[in-house]
Structure 1
Amino acid sequence: MEGLALVKVIVIALAVVAFASPATGQSLPGGFVYLRDIDPTILEDIRYAGSNNFVGRPLAGYEAADCVVKRDVGLALARAQRELAPQHLSLKMLDCYRPARAVHDMVIWAQNGRETPAERRYNPAFRKKDLFRLGYIAEHSGHSTGAAVDLTLVDLKADNSAAFDPGRAYADCTAPTSARAPEASVDMGTGYDCSDVKAHTAARLITSDQRRWRNVLVSAMAKQGFVNYSKEWWHFSLPGAGGPAYDFPIEARFR
């Protein structure tokens, strides 16, 4: 009996230790947080951590597909999410904090003198060497301060099962949603990271439904203090939440 009791004590002790010692979260500098720690209901599809982006590979510093933001930004996003929930809508994060090394990676990509058909899907009307001059990519990004985010909306009642196939030759980012790469989100009129006038938030060459979705997103974000970048329907920043640019890598929230 004493031996059995001892075994029970050991089992209980191990269970308590396991419960009290979860996987250690990564420490972040400068008031940054993992968005999941503030609101785990917000969807995340961090595109620069994979191949479904205009470069076609993970960018430098994206070691995990986790959204990292300044705490004030995360709290504001959570408030927007609560406002959208009664409409059966969810935010979906496409990019959050972006290490400065990733921004430099974009610069090198734009200047490498090559342009593949897959890359052209994202800038059908421009050459990639002109994207900086035209304001579609910046050499110094607000994303690196933790105050800027890229995001879209997901209709939780819709079928969002369509997945990106890296081996498929999709139409360019301005094409109808049935022909371009799937976003698993509402139809905003262009794909994410589309460098084209049609992606300008107030673009005229979109349908009434596409404009309505853009207005829903802009309104929900503006209500929480976010400002939209006029050339990108997906890009928002929170004034006053930033600071210096950072270059720490994005690591997995838990190891």
Structure 2
Amino acid sequence: MKLTKIGHPAIDIDLAYATSNNIAGKRLYMDSDALLHPDAATALHAAADILQAQNLRICVFDAFRPAYVQQKLWAVLPDPEFIADPEVGSDHTRGIAVDLTITDQSGQPLDMATGFDEMVQQSHHNRVDIPVTAQQNRLLLLGAMALAGFQHNPFEWWHYSLPNAENYPLING
């Protein structure tokens, strides 16, 4: 499967696993390119168009994730609520998932109440015990991503994937 490099004028790339500032505490990616299955890349570009019309941008934290990285993350946090079991595979290892947030035109992230990969209850969608502004920002992200064809992960406000994952094979890479 040939993956597509994410490239859009309203999308910034800040891969968390290309640095040591992540839940593993070490650099897991040697490359800083964000790749997706072509179907997911097309949908992400559609979401970026929706947000760009509102003078907003997308910042991508993770996209395609090689199986060896999935195994390393599972070793750090073997909790299927937050990390997919590498024996099963994840939507990231299929190239159809993206972790992201919304930023303003200057690249400043909108308030989402918790950070990316902050594995706490407040990171779940539909939380009413977070500031109203964060609830609104999460709904804005959810709306743009849903209109573009993505579904959300109920436990992670930042995680979106294409539906019907079983139609997409795991990608070795």
Aligned to 1:245: 170
Give the SS at the match of 2:103. strand
CA change 1:86–1:40 in 2 (3 A) is closer
CA change 1:32–1:240 in 2 (3 A) is farther
1:63 and 2:40 aligned? no
Whole-Å Cα distance in 1 between the matches of residues 122 and 58 of structure 2?
22
**How does 1:1-255 map onto structure 2 within 5 Å?**
30-36=1-7, 39-59=8-28, 62-110=29-77, 131-133=78-80, 135-139=81-85, 140-156=89-105, 160=107, 184-240=108-164, 243-248=168-173
Deviation at 1:240, TM superposition (A): 4.1
For 1:206-236, what per-residue CA distance to the aligned partner results, in whole angstroms no more than 9, with x for missing partners? 1110100000000000001100000000000
Contact kept, 8 Å, 2:10 with 2:56, in 1: the verdict is: no
Give the SS at the match of 1:186. coil
Contact kept, 8 Å, 1:200 with 1:231, in 2: the verdict is: yes
Deviation at 1:247, TM superposition (A): 2.8
Contact kept, 8 Å, 1:101 with 1:247, in 2: the verdict is: no
Deviation at 1:202, TM superposition (A): 0.8
Contact kept, 8 Å, 1:153 with 1:185, in 2: the verdict is: yes
Deviation at 1:201, TM superposition (A): 0.9
Give the SS at the match of 1:244. coil
Contact kept, 8 Å, 2:57 with 2:105, in 1: the verdict is: yes
Aligned-pair Cα RMSD in Å: 1.6
Give the SS at the match of 1:73. helix
Identity of aligned residues (%): 34
Matched residues, number: 169
Whole-Å Cα distance in 2 between the matches of residues 239 and 108 of structure 1?
27
Deviation at 1:65, TM superposition (A): 1.2
Contact kept, 8 Å, 1:32 with 1:70, in 2: the verdict is: yes
For structure 1, the 5+ residue unaligned runs are 1-29, 111-130, 161-183, 249-255
Whole-Å Cα distance in 2 between the matches of residues 214 and 76 of structure 1?
18
Counterpart code for 2:31: A
Higher-strand-fraction structure: 2
Give the SS at the match of 2:156. coil
**Runs of 4+ in structure 1 over 2 Å off:** 107-110
User: Which is greater in Rg?
Assistant: 1
Counterpart code for 1:57: K
Whole-Å Cα distance in 1 between the matches of residues 137 and 153 of structure 2?
16
Deviation at 1:79, TM superposition (A): 1.2
